[in-house]
Amino acid sequence: MWKWFHQLASPPHFYRIAPTFSLVLLLPGLALIAYGVYAGLFLAPMDYQQGDAFRIIYIHVPSAYLSLMAYMIMAVAGGIGLIWRMKLAHAVAASAAPLGAWFTFLALATGSIWGRPMWGTWWEWADPRMMSELILLFFYFGYMALRGAIDDTAKADKASAVLALVGVINVIIVHYSVTWWSSLHQGQTIMAKEGPAMDPGMLYPLLANIFGFTLLFGSLILRRTRTEVLFRERRTRWVKEMILAPEGQR
């Protein structure tokens, strides 16, 4: 197990196998999303309160979930890189940040569009989840800005890992403080609480989309990391040998 792990973490090996793994994630991911989107849009029964507007949930929830998961990957990978000095982990963290920011943006945008027909406003300041999500987006920007500002890759890796770890605690505290804050200011009920049991016809497409988006995200992050590894190892022997090798052997 340990040996396999080490082999996986070796840059040339990772560079070689990443496309295969990526495809293994991509194809079922696309299939799940195809089912989830179709069933979510046309087969799932209408919500009795929100009508067809609730179908935005099939985009909103998976992206909100991924925005947090990308953050956790970024922080955990950063921590692994700091503690065990694993180069691949830092490359993973670097790749997770922009993807996480994209999904945070998607969660915010769909939340805002959903809010328009439901709450009558594009932006509801008193909704704690939207505020947490917005602060998370700011945090992604700060993380990427710090990475961009440090020229030395090794230094940028470690500094941003420290920032990501500090941020994990912060994300949790932000969530609680924003929830407390909105409980002070909430005039009307923001959103009906989810019922205890969702109709299976509604639930299965949602689960399919959550898994599908996650697989797609995995596929994207693998390939992003692969490029990152190639760039970081550009002066090494294995990259040179790979580039100079005859066509079919790359």
Q: List contacts with another protein (CB under 8 A).
A: 37, 41-42, 46, 51-53, 55-56, 58-60, 63, 82, 99, 102-103, 105-106, 109-110, 113-114, 116-117, 135, 138-139, 141-142, 145-146, 149-150, 154-155, 158-159, 162-163, 165-167, 169-170, 173-174, 176-178, 180-181, 184, 216, 220, 223-224, 226-227, 230-231, 234, 239-240, 243-244
Residue 28: which H helix or E strand, with range? helix 11-38
Residue 188: CB minimum distance to another protein, A: 19
Which residues 6+ apart lie within 8 Å of 4 measured at CB? none
Q: Which is nearer to another protein, 10 or 79 (CB)?
A: 79
Q: Which is nearer to another protein, 93 or 163 (CB)?
A: 163
Please, which residue, 6 or 142, has the CB nearer to another protein?
Answer: 142
In the complex with another protein, the residue whose CB is nearer, 14 or 103, is 103
CB atoms within 10 A of CB 82: 18
Sign of the dihedral through C-alpha 100, 105, 111, 114? negative
Residue 51: strand pairing partners: 47
User: Where does residue 120 fall: left (phi above 0), alpha (psi -120 to 50 degrees), or beta otherwise?
Assistant: left
206 neighbors 36 (Cβ within 8 angstroms): yes
CA distances in angstroms from 176 to 170, 181, 188, listed in the order given? 10, 9, 20
> Least CB distance from residue 165 to another protein, whole Å?
8
Shortest Cβ distance from residue 194 to another protein (Å)? Answer: 19
CB of 203 to another protein, least distance (A): 18
